[in-house]
Every structure is written in structure tokens, then in C-alpha cells.
Amino acid sequence: MTYFHSANLNPLMSKFKRRDFIRNSVLAGVGASLLNDPLQAKTHESIESSVNPNSSPKKVIIGGGGIGGLCTGYELMKKGHDVTVLEASGRHGGHVYTARDGLSDGLYGDYGMEHITKPGYDRYWDYLKEFNITALPYPRRKNVLRQINDKFYTEEMLRDPAVLKDFGYNQKEIEYLSNNPWWDLKSLYLNPYLDKFTDEYQPFGVGYDDWDNIPISDIYKKEGASETALSRLGGNNTSALFELWHTAILKLRGVPLSPPEVFRLKDGNQTLPNTFAKRLGPRVWLNCQITLIKQNDSGVSITYQQQGKEISMEADYYVNCIPLPTLKSIPIEPALPEARQYINENITFDSYQRFVFQASSKFWEEDGYENINMDFSHPDLWNVWQSAEEVDTHRVIVLGTGPGGVSPLRALAAFREVYPGKKDTIEQAVSQDWTKQKYSPNCERLPFPMGELNIFWPHLMEPVGRIYFAGAYADNLNWGTEAATRSANRVADAIDKA
């Protein structure tokens, strides 16, 4: 890896000579990073053939070793640029985290990223094909048993007009839900408005601009939604323009609102970021916390701490893939424009805790349930489903989601309180509380404040000088790894052409 300490950088060294040095070292770095491991010889050959020599290579520092940062680095490396990824924690992958600690028989739990869809996740699927990574069908959204008002309902029951009438839905809603999935109620009221959106990256100018100042619940009311539907759909604090645009993006991509056909990666979803990291080799530095970001007209200087030492590194560009809540604590000189600071400081995210229950059997089958796909109304545990089915063992993994601050044993107690069967065989409970994580506490980006879509969009994607932004938040749709890989490719292309 090539990097420059500010204390040792020769001020007389011309930009041409530095770039010539970078160009000569990029491909050499690929060999150095992989050929030391004979098991990676095949990987080396595929990378060496895919890296394009660049007549004007750029040096790029990337902050954050989540999937967005790793993907950006991989794409820039392939284009012949010199890349360094600085990750503050001791592991790469960020919110994509597959863990095996505390589990038996080769079982694992995906603590972060849950699944991918098809259609959707186009860039992600391209990488799976490129790296020959196996995606498995994930039936976690099939035949879900839902707890509503302390009673459990099957999907068949939730299509029953008599049940829907008892809930308080009106006749229009009853007819729709009798023939469409339970999760698709929103489409009944929003679909008539979506065809005006023809460019998924342009929410403005279709005739709804003023609707950024009204809540989407007003549209539901205008269309005659029942009190039951209004209570379920919410939206009292969500911009109507934002919600219509978000829904239109899915329609343009041919993706349902809550896709029932989803997939996950064999051996865990961290397989893809691990693959990016393996190909980047020693370009990825762990336990390197960025403490200062500087830029001027000719380049950037990044200061980071590594094992108690402060080191400065110079480059042509910096790509920020650090989550914005963490970036707020890092000084940037000169300060970002006020409008960009507002974006960084006011984007909001959700967060959660992932629970992993290890059981000695599929206990739910003895109770007559086809699967363990269940949604709860308990405050400590929101849902559960099975994972890691491909592992050859009688034991099983049940994943669950709930709020931060709940211990695994408390979540297990909540499961046993609401589980409608007779008995479980859970023998272990562990968790990952993302709300407590220092460097990656957030999950998906939440809707922008009402009346401010034009403040955030499309400016959150735009560079400021030589600082670029990529990651799960930096795209039009807030779908985790889909947004991360899309924004990574966009930034890599922009820097390559700069």
C-alpha cells in the first residue's frame, strides 16, 4: 500500500511524479496483498486481470470499512486508482455482521443486514455473480403469523372479509385486502398518484411539490381511509411528496412494498463485504480512527489514530462512508458549507437490536406451525424467523428484532410470553445491540422532515470540493446494502472521471 505521512512528504515532489509512482504501485499492490497466501492465487489472477491500468491514477482515502466503503474501494481499485480504507473498529463490514461466537455446530446469526430482493438490489446481484457467491431463498416472509390485539392471525385469516370487518376496515379496504397481501394496504391509496414519477432520482416537477408541506395521512383521509386504516398506516409526520416518491421508486424498479420473495447469502450476509475486503487486501486498515479531515483545491489530508499514534495521510480525494452520526464528531477544515452541515446533522436513522436464539429442534413443528415466522405486539420483541437453515445440524437458529437496551434473556422471556405454542427448546440467547455501537449505531435512513425535501435532495449525494459521500444513506432509496452499493459505484465513477 502506498501512503504519505505529512511529516515526510517532500513539498518539492511534483504531482506528476507522485501519480507516476502511484500508477506503478497499484498493480504491484494487488500481487503483494494476495500472493503471500497460496490459497488466494486464483483470486489474485481474477483481480489482476480486472484491474485496468490508469494513465492518470488518483490517490483516494475512504473513511469507513462498511459495505459502502469497501465497495467504493473495490471499484476504484479496479479502475486503477490507489485506495486506502480507514476503519475505526477492529472489523470490517459495518452493519453487515455475521457472528458465530456463542453458537454451536457451525451455526451463525446475521446481526445486521437481513436480506436482499429480486428484483431490486441490482448492483448487489451483479457482485454475487462476479464473485460466484451463493444466494439462498429466504422464506422468512412466507406464511407469517401476526399478533394483532393480543390474538394471532394467519395470512388466510387476514383475507377473511368477516375478520377485516371486525377490525373496522371499510368496504373498499375489505375488498382490497381480501385479494391483496396484508402489508400492501398503502398501495390502495397511493397507486393512483405514482405514474407521474418517471425518473426515480427526480421527485420534483411532477405536480406534487407543494405536498412536501402536508402529511401523507392527509392523502389517506382524502381517499376515504377508515380510522382503522389511518391508525395502521400512520404518516402524520411524513411528507406526502416524500412518501409518494419513495413508493414510486419501488414501482419503477418493479419491487413490491414488502417483497415476499427475499434472499440471503449462504454462510452469512457478511460474505460479500468479506470478499470485497479480501480483494482490497492491505488497502483496508482496521483500528484507524479518523480524527481530522482537511481539504484544499489540490487535495485532502486525513489524520487518524492508530495504536495511540496520530498519522496524517495525503490524497487527491476523500470518500466519506462513515455513518453521519459518527462523522459529526470529526472536525473538517475548512468547515463544510452550512447547507451541507445541516444535512449531516439532521438526517435521522432508525436502530434496533438483533437477537439470536439457538434451539435444539424446530419446536414449532410439534405445535403444528409450518414455520417460526411471527410478528409480535410485545414491546421487547417485535418478530422472529428462522435462519442458517443450510447448516447440517439438528439445532436451529431463530433470529429476532427488538429495541435497544433489552437483554437477550429478557427478549427470550418476551418470546416465551407471547409464543402461541406449548413449549420451546431454546438453549442459548445472544444479541447485538446496534443502539450501543460506537461507530455504526444506525440502520436505515428515516424520512426527511416535512417541508425540507428540497434541502436534503439531491444535495446529500453531492460532493463538497474533494470530499465525496457514499453509503446506505447516500441514495434515493434507504435500502441498506442496495443504497450502499449504488452510491459506491456512483462515487467511484465520478472520481474516476474527475
The angle formed by the CA atoms of residues 12, 15 and 312, to the nearest 5 degrees, is: 75
Q: Is 8 a member of any domain? A: no
Task: Please report, as a single letter, which amino acid is at residue 350.
Answer: D
Q: Is 10 a member of any domain? A: no
Q: How many domains does the chain have?
A: 3
Q: Is the pLDDT of residue 212 over 50?
A: yes
Per-residue model confidence as pLDDT tens digits over 275-319: 999 999 999 999 999 999 999 999 999 999 999 999 999 999 999
Q: Are 29 and 44 in contact (CB under 8 A)?
A: no
Give long-range contacts, CB 8 A cutoff, 24+ apart: 177-181: 181/155, 181/256, 181/258, 181/260
- The beta-strand segments (E) located in 79-217 are 82-86, 98-99, 109-110, 116-117, 135-138, 145-148, 151-153
Q: What integer pLDDT is reported at residue 396 of this predicted model?
A: 98
Q: Is 150 a member of any domain? A: no
- In terms of domains, do 342 and 447 share one? yes
Which residues, in sequence order, are bridge partners of residue 359? 396, 426
Collect all residues with Cβ–Cβ distance below 8 Å to 102 and sequence separation of at least 6: 356, 428, 430
Q: Is the pLDDT of residue 48 over 70?
A: no
Note if the pTM is more than 0.85: yes
Q: Are 319 and 331 in contact (CB under 8 A)?
A: no
Q: Is 46 a member of any domain? A: yes
Q: What integer pLDDT is reported at residue 296 of this predicted model?
A: 97
- Which phi and psi (to 5°) does residue 254 adopt? 75, 30
- In terms of domains, do 240 and 280 share one? no
- In terms of domains, do 361 and 342 share one? no
CA distance readout (Å), 46 to 56, 73, 85: 23, 17, 21
What does the pLDDT average to over 184-198? 98
Percentage of residues of the chain with pLDDT beyond 90: 87
- In terms of domains, do 288 and 306 share one? yes
Q: What's the chain's average pLDDT?
A: 91
- In terms of domains, do 463 and 339 share one? yes
- In terms of domains, do 327 and 449 share one? yes
Among 405, 436, 467, give the residue marking a domain's end.
436
Q: What CATH number does the domain containing 322 carry? A: 3.50.50.60
Per-residue model confidence as pLDDT tens digits over 363-422: 999 999 999 999 999 999 999 999 999 999 999 999 999 999 999 999 999 999 999 999
Q: What integer pLDDT is reported at residue 346 of this predicted model?
A: 95
CA 263, chain centre distance (Å): 15
Q: What CATH number does the domain containing 368 carry? A: 3.90.660.10
pLDDT confidence band for 14 (50 / 70 / 90): very low
Domain that holds residue 183: 155-253
CA 282, chain centre distance (Å): 24
- In terms of domains, do 416 and 429 share one? yes
- In terms of domains, do 54 and 108 share one? no
Q: What integer pLDDT is reported at residue 50 of this predicted model?
A: 62
CA torsion 151-434-364-265 (nearest 10°) is 130
- In terms of domains, do 246 and 202 share one? yes
What does the pLDDT average to over 234-242? 97
- The three grid cell numbers given for residue 355, joined into one nine-digit string: 437477537
Q: Is the pLDDT of residue 219 over 60?
A: yes
Among 419, 436, 453, give the residue marking a domain's end.
436
What angle separates helix 480-497 from helix 67-78, to the nearest 10 degrees?
Answer: 30
Among 418, 436, 454, give the residue marking a domain's end.
436
Q: Is 146 a member of any domain? A: no
- In terms of domains, do 365 and 340 share one? no
Q: Determine the Cα–Cα distance for residues 454 and 123; give it in Å rounded to an integer.
A: 27
Q: Is 1 a member of any domain? A: no
- In terms of domains, do 363 and 407 share one? yes
SS3 323: coil
- In terms of domains, do 343 and 462 share one? yes
Q: Is 3 a member of any domain? A: no
Q: Is 149 a member of any domain? A: no
